[in-house]
Amino acid sequence: MLHDHLKHPTAIRVQFGAIFVSLELSRKTWLITSLSPGKGEKMSKHSVTAGDIAGLLARFSELQRKAAVRTGKSFPLIVIQEAGLDGFWVHRVLQQEGIESHVVDPASIAIPRRRRRAKTDKIDGEALLRALLAYKRGEPRVCSMVVAPSPEEEDQRRLCRERDTLTAERVRHVNRIKGLLFAQGIADYMPLSRNRRKRLDELCTGDGRPLPQYVKAQISRELDRLELVLEQIKVVEKERDRVLLSLAPVVVSMGPEAVCDQPRRASGVRMLTALRGFAADGATKLWSEGLSRHFSNRRQVAAYAGLAPTPWQSGGISHEQGVSKAGNPRLRTTMVQIAWLWLRHQPQSALARWYFARVGVGATKARKKVAITALARKLLVALWKYVSAGELIEGAIMKPVA
């Protein structure tokens, strides 16, 4: 039998100096779970319609009023919510109202490990509140709070992400056109060539017939959508280069002196593009997804990318489960791609030599996959030191200055 509470608890009772609130956000309702001074351990639960900020603030005022009536004192509010589909707009509204707000990574909160675990908004709200209490008590590693980006930083990330979305859409249109033609015995048509329209009119099936009427009409409409996507990619790339590759003065932020964001952004991206093997796409994506953020140490850098190791050890059993994959998936994918390019364009660097020495001659694909992931983690840390502190990467070659 499990005992969640002792009959005579020996723990020291904590006198709350604030009203602690957790928000469980969904598309229809927001569940408010609160713990106020003067109510003991009883958690109150209320709900408001999703998106009703006025109702939420009114409920907060009511909680403060009732706490003042019970104790004769006024208390501040401390609010926690999960990082999710709602983004950070609720967090920003609360901060504008002078309320202390925290956004937590939901995967960092400990949960029961029973095979069938009960999960409801009520249970999740109470778990959030307990995590907030432990965090404010100063308990180490109780949860991981998310650092909310500024609205400008969040908006600028859309440029690289929209380009990835459009590129995937371009691939789908090209593959659909090639699939339609392959079913007719045609395998040499290139949808991305400049003479794609003229070439379409000249096509014949594998058995010598003209291209069927409706197949040709469908491919023509696919080409219309493909050309629209190609034009949008050009517009996004032009805007991305204008914003992230602007020719502002290069000012590297080192030391306590504060610098404005524009010179820092320009210097970081331009420092990356100065390395051989880095083009505008890889440099801007790496900067906007990871290196533009503040990290205290190399472990935080690797953890944010999901490239941190995940050991499994119990008694005499110990093995490695691979990388955690708990961070930014876009940054992780970008770093693996950059790691392969680094081997091609920077083979004389210390990191590339480490990879070749580790893999050896005749290595299997599985061994190369493990090694390239380790190289991606090492390279990300080295690039972070390079753009943040100006520490040169050993053996790396810079592009010739035009």
**Collapsing DSSP states into helix, strand and coil, what is residue 19?**
strand
Q: Pick the more confident residue, 246 or 294.
A: 294
Q: What is the pLDDT of residue 35?
A: 93
Under a CB-based contact definition with an 8 Å cutoff, are residues 395 and 353 in contact? yes
Which residue is it, tokens 């440029």? 159
Q: What is the pLDDT of residue 7?
A: 58
Q: Is the pLDDT of residue 12 over 80?
A: no
Q: Is the pLDDT of residue 183 over 90?
A: yes
Q: What is the pLDDT of residue 14?
A: 54
Q: Pick the more confident residue, 198 or 247.
A: 198
Q: Pick the more confident residue, 193 or 111.
A: 193
For domain 19-137, give the CATH number: 3.30.420.40
The H or E element spanning position 101 is strand 100-104
Q: Pick the more confident residue, 327 or 16.
A: 327
What is the rounded average pLDDT of the residues 311-331? 87
Q: Is the pLDDT of residue 261 over 90?
A: no
CA R_g for the chain: 28
Q: What is the pLDDT of residue 113?
A: 83
Q: Is the pLDDT of residue 98 over 70?
A: yes
What is the rounded average pLDDT of the residues 184-210? 93
Q: Is the pLDDT of residue 107 over 60?
A: yes
What is the rounded average pLDDT of the residues 371-375? 94
On average, the pLDDT of the chain sits at 88
Query: Tell me, what DSSP letter sits at residue 306?
Result: T
DSSP notation for 227-257: HHHHHHHHHHHHHHHHHHT---------SS-
Tell me the C-alpha distance between 78 and 104, whole Å.
13
Percent of the chain with pLDDT over 70: 91
* 317-323 vs 19-25, strand pairing mode: unpaired
Q: By C-alpha distance, which of 355, 397, 392, 353 is closest to 375? A: 355
DSSP notation for 109-155: S-----SS----HHHHHHHHHHHHHHHHHT-TTS--B--PPPHHHHH
Q: Is the pLDDT of residue 346 over 60?
A: yes
Q: Pick the more confident residue, 37 or 228.
A: 228
Dig out the tokens for 66 from the structure.
């009732």
Confidence of residue 254 (pLDDT cuts 50, 70, 90): very low
The residue type at 325 = K
Among the ranges given (25-29, 255-259, 293-297), the one the predictor scored with the smallest mean pLDDT: 255-259
Q: By C-alpha distance, which of 375, 370, 317 is closest to 343? A: 375
Q: What is the pLDDT of residue 320?
A: 84
Virtual CA dihedral for 211, 217, 220, 222, nearest 10 degrees?
A: -110
Q: Is the pLDDT of residue 15 over 80?
A: no
Q: Is the pLDDT of residue 114 over 90?
A: no
What is the rounded average pLDDT of the residues 313-317? 87
Query: Tell me, what DSSP letter sits at residue 66?
Result: H
Q: Is the pLDDT of residue 259 over 60?
A: no
What is the rounded average pLDDT of the residues 338-355? 95
Q: Is the pLDDT of residue 99 over 80?
A: yes
Q: What is the pLDDT of residue 243?
A: 84
139-178, pLDDT tens digit by residue?
888 998 988 988 988 888 899 999 999 999 999 999 999 9
